[in-house]
Structure 1
């Protein structure tokens, strides 16, 4: 399964990128780093700069149709930047339109709000997004992982880095089910 990991050029929470990436790789999937610019992305450990990672493909130059699933890592700045980029928002919307599974952790659901794909869904996130998600028509729950099977695709959401193990297990299960 070819999985897009969509990030902004700067501000992704490193562990929310690297742990799901490694879990996908270990499960035999093909993770692909997609960003809004070519070159490298700058990851963070909370507010401190961490490692950089090479971008594999650029939104606007690649097609969501070339991927089987989407992972949206968190970090405060990452989804805030993505939601202001029309091509990134369109890229996210395409996964929902095509019925492909999506996984988002921590602050990443901010991008889903902008893509207008949370209405009628039940999901979780970092607690500060609760009001934004409710205002966008979602039901917010405080759970380690929430799998929402609404409409034509499944959405896996999680709250924070402490939930990464459960998040990775859940999205890998959902992605494998969808591939079968």
Structure 2
């Protein structure tokens, strides 16, 4: 399975990128770092700069057709930058239109709100997004992991770094089921 990990050039929460990435690689999947610009992605440990990671593909030069699934790591700045990029938003929306599974953690559902794909879905996130999710027509729940199968694809969401183990297990299981 080929999994896209979409991040902005700066602001992704490092552990929310590296732990799901490692889990997907360890499960035998091909992982591809997609960003809005070529070069490197600057990760953060909350508000402090952390490591950089090389970009494999630029969102404007690829499409959901090239992938089996999508992971949206969080961080406060990351989804805020992504939701302001029309190509990134279209890339995310395309996964939903094609019925491909998507996983998002922490603040990443902001990008889902911008893509207009949360209506009638049940999801979780960092608590500060609950009003945004509700205003976009979704139902917000305070759960470690939420799997929503409304529509042709499944959406896996999680709240925070403390939930990463459960998040990784859930999205790997859902991705395997949906593409089987």
TM-score, with structure 1 as normaliser? 1.00
Shift, 1:90, TM fit: 0.2
State the partner residue of 1:170.
Answer: 170
Partner in structure 2 of residue 60 of structure 1: 60
Aligned to 1:29: 29
Alpha-carbon distance in 2 for matches of 1:60, 1:41: 16
Runs of at least 5 residues in structure 2 that lack an aligned partner in the other structure: none
The answer to which of 62-71 and 162-171 deviates more is: 62-71
Aligned equivalents of 1:146, 1:135: Cα separation in 2: 19
Q: Which runs of 4+ in 1 moved over 3 A?
A: none
The answer for unaligned runs of 5 or more in structure 1 is none
Q: How does 1:88-167 map to 2 (within 5 A)?
A: 88-167=88-167
1:34-69 per-residue CA deviation (whole Å, 9 max, x = no partner) reads: 000000000000000000000000011112110000
Q: Output the CA distance in 2 between the equivalents of 1:138 and 1:34.
A: 26
TM-score by length of 2: 1.00
**1:116-165, CA deviations, whole angstroms, 9 ceiling, x for partnerless residues?**
00000000000000000000000000000000000110000000000000
Equivalent in the alignment of 1:51: 51
CA deviation after TM superposition for structure 1 residue 179, in Å: 1.8
Mapped partners of 1:24, 1:66: distance in 2? 17
How big is each residue's C-alpha offset from its partner over 1:48-97, in whole Å with a ceiling of 9 and x where there is no partner? 00000000000111121100000000000000000000000000000000
